[in-house]
Amino acid sequence: HQQEPTKDPVILNALLHICKTMHDSVNALTLEDEKRMLAYLINGFIKM
């Protein structure tokens, strides 16, 4: 687990793409627990 933030634009772009893919995968059939976990992961990335 990395503790220090990164400013590498390539890494940031890749992580944003992953977050967008996770966000877009949520639909009406997604379980609440899975929605919570995805929100936790995306918010964790945004806060770093």
2-48 pLDDT per residue, tens:
778 888 999 999 999 999 999 999 999 999 999 999 999 999 888 87
d(CA 48, CA 43) in angstroms, rounded, equals 9
Cβ contact 47:17 at 8 Å: no
Please tell me the pTM assigned to this model: 0.73
- Judged by DSSP in three states, 43 sits in helix
Phi, psi of 25 (to 5 degrees): -80, -15
